[in-house]
A and B are shown apart, each in its own frame.
Chain A
Amino acid sequence: MKILDVLQKEAVLVNLKSRDKKSVIEELAMPVARIANINHDDLVRVLMERERLGSTGIGGGIAIPHGKIKELESLAMGFGLSRKGVDFESMDGRPAHIFFLMITPENSTGLHLNLLARIARILKNEPFKDRLSNAVDSDEIFNIIREEDETF
């Protein structure tokens, strides 16, 4: 599955304002909730609940908040960039700058796991990460991800 099959341009935020975990999740969840047609507060609650079990801040400035939502029809994604960084209780203790948000229906099969693994893997690629971090708008983000999608 390609990332751009699920990520919509409206869900790309290149200038996140929030500086703490809960607010950044609320900010990221805003467009995703609208696109997926689900309640924003419910989405935030699910994502925060998942964070309580262990942070999705995997270090290296990356966080991939995710969760399962009952009423959801199909997998949905969001993307965000924070210039200043957010304390996301990451494993390496450093602030997170690049965010991929992922939600999947309750009864989803392994598809979401493959996508999650792939996102985690491509974000280990430093040049790719740098290009994402320096992107100025959602078009540029899309182009960078498209190139990566094509090699998939």
Chain B
Amino acid sequence: MKIVIVGAGEVGFHIASRLALENKDVVIIDSNPDAIRRVSDNIDVQVINGSGSSPLVLEEAGIKNAEILLAVTNKDETNLVACLLTDIISPATKKLARIRDADYDKYHSNFRSSAPHIDTIINPEVEVVRTIDRLMSVPGAVDVSEFAGGHLKLIGIQLDKEDTKMAGIPFAKLSQASGKQIPLIAAVIRDEELIIPTGNDSLLPGDTFYFISKEENLMDTLKTFNKYAEPVRRALIVGGGRIGFRLASLLEKKSIHTKIIEKDPDQCTQLAEQLNKTVVLCGDGSDQGILTEENIQDTDVAITLTSDEETNILASLLIKRMGAKKTITKISKFGYFPLMSAIGIEQVVDPRLSAVNTILQYIRRGKVLSAKSIKGEGAEVVEAVALETSDIVGKPLKDISLPKGVLVISIIRENEITIPSGESVIHPNDRIIIFAKRDAIPKMEKILEVKLEFF
């Protein structure tokens, strides 16, 4: 599969390095020689130093043979032009573009239905705001993703260090011991290592673990693990850029009392004009004085969203220390992730990772509806349609030799959601949710593939 990537920034670089590992044929274009050097020094893909909005460069990159174009430069205009040219030079190539400016929001559907015929528009900022919203609504969650149109949630929570009640009990006996139906625990992350547990394994204090839950049972399950819902009334946003603005508008709609701290006076003026109820404060979000003045200890949640991740990390630590109940931190350097839980930052959002997730969906084989990387990318969760003639349908799960590290965690038939057992049979056109460790991903794709006779 050939993929042309325009833009060697964080998203382009990261996608390219992942695809190179999976033996995909990748060409990456960027006009910045430094960005290109970083790619060629680190990953084994073809690089072209030039503008992705030039038809000659696109042709040189072999756009005619490409199955997918990813236009992910930091300029919306360049991405749009790259798609437009691809639409002319190679109409059957799938086009995915990152478009961030809110001015374009209303025109997304036009970009799909008429030229440049973009198949998918990725707006990481909108995704991140959605992720923040989900993290705010699920108490104690370090990771929340939705499947089956929101009816199913995959939740990652950390077992409190003091929680000895649930620790040490084998999973097979958890429900019995707690007197409640405990959902299927798909993965445990312990000391940065991802484990797919069996019934004999158990949780240790400090473990992060992932489970799948129906929307209606979620709060009940969380209580068993000592996580209680606390309504959010007051929020503080540090950083009034594009994400900060989008988040503030959402929180206004939810009638959450919101303050936003932004350094740049011009930006503050603009925010104050565009927002109605939000209080806009001009200043430094990591300044103790301003935080004390604004009664930070009464804040239910603080979200740090400046463009500087070190500032975000330090501001979050400071704000937590000064008494805010919860912080959510925006980080984009993948290298920082392993550090976060060690220094006490639990809830992290990453616009680039959410862009990567959207893109993954298009690269996976089979009829994949959505895909999501799990912390540190040790695993992937995929929602897909089980197609006729594929290996996964027609037989009880126990008779299908599922590759090691692959777990079917839900079956959705019409509106019925079941957590499968060995006896469950997947029917053609059921939707399934599969959990796969990174090294098992090619095998997972294999079981979703259709046979020759599928039309």
Q: Say whether A116 contacts B387, CB under 8 Å.
A: no
Q: Say whether B65 contacts A58, CB under 8 Å.
A: no
Grouping DSSP codes into helix (H, G, I), strand (E, B) and loop, the B interface class, with mixed when no group exceeds half, is loop
A66 at the binding interface (Cβ < 8 Å): yes
Q: Which residue of A lies closest to B445 (CB)?
A: A54
Q: Say whether A116 contacts B451, CB under 8 Å.
A: no
| A22-B92, A23-B64 known; A117-B453 Cβ under 8 A | yes
Q: Say whether B451 contacts A26, CB under 8 Å.
A: no
Residues from chain B with a CB closer than 8 A to the CB of A52 are 365-366
Taken residue by residue from 54 to 67, chain A's Cβ proximity to chain B (1 for < 8 Å, 0 otherwise) reads as 11101000001011
A117 CA to B451 CA in the complex, in Å?
A: 12
A137 at the binding interface (Cβ < 8 Å): no
Residues from chain B with a CB closer than 8 A to the CB of A23 are 64-65
A17 at the binding interface (Cβ < 8 Å): no
A41 at the binding interface (Cβ < 8 Å): yes
Grouping DSSP codes into helix (H, G, I), strand (E, B) and loop, the A interface class, with mixed when no group exceeds half, is helix
A64 CA to B454 CA in the complex, in Å?
A: 11
B443 at the binding interface (Cβ < 8 Å): no
Interface residue count on the A side (C-beta < 8 Å): 27
B396 to chain A, nearest CB (A): 23
Contact of A53 among B93, B449, B453 (CB under 8 A): B449
Residues from chain B with a CB closer than 8 A to the CB of A89 are 1
Taken residue by residue from 1 to 38, chain A's Cβ proximity to chain B (1 for < 8 Å, 0 otherwise) reads as 00000000000000000001111001000000000000
A38 to chain B, nearest CB (A): 13
Q: Say whether A54 contacts B450, CB under 8 Å.
A: yes
Contact of A113 among B66, B91, B449, B455 (CB under 8 A): B455
Which chain B residues (7-48) contact chain A, with CB distance < 8 Å? none
Q: Which residue of A lies closest to B62 (CB)?
A: A20
Residues from chain B with a CB closer than 8 A to the CB of A54 are 365-366, 390, 449-451, 454
Q: Say whether B387 contacts A20, CB under 8 Å.
A: no
Q: Say whether B2 contacts A53, CB under 8 Å.
A: no
Q: Say whether B92 contacts A113, CB under 8 Å.
A: no
Taken residue by residue from 81 to 97, chain B's Cβ proximity to chain A (1 for < 8 Å, 0 otherwise) reads as 00000000001110000
Which chain A residues (33-49) contact chain B, with CB distance < 8 Å? 41, 44-45, 48
B431 to chain A, nearest CB (A): 15
A41 CA to B89 CA in the complex, in Å?
A: 11
Q: Say whether A53 contacts B65, CB under 8 Å.
A: no
Q: Say whether B387 contacts A53, CB under 8 Å.
A: yes
B192 at the binding interface (Cβ < 8 Å): no
Q: Say whether B455 contacts A67, CB under 8 Å.
A: yes
Residues from chain B with a CB closer than 8 A to the CB of A41 are 91-92
A112 at the binding interface (Cβ < 8 Å): yes
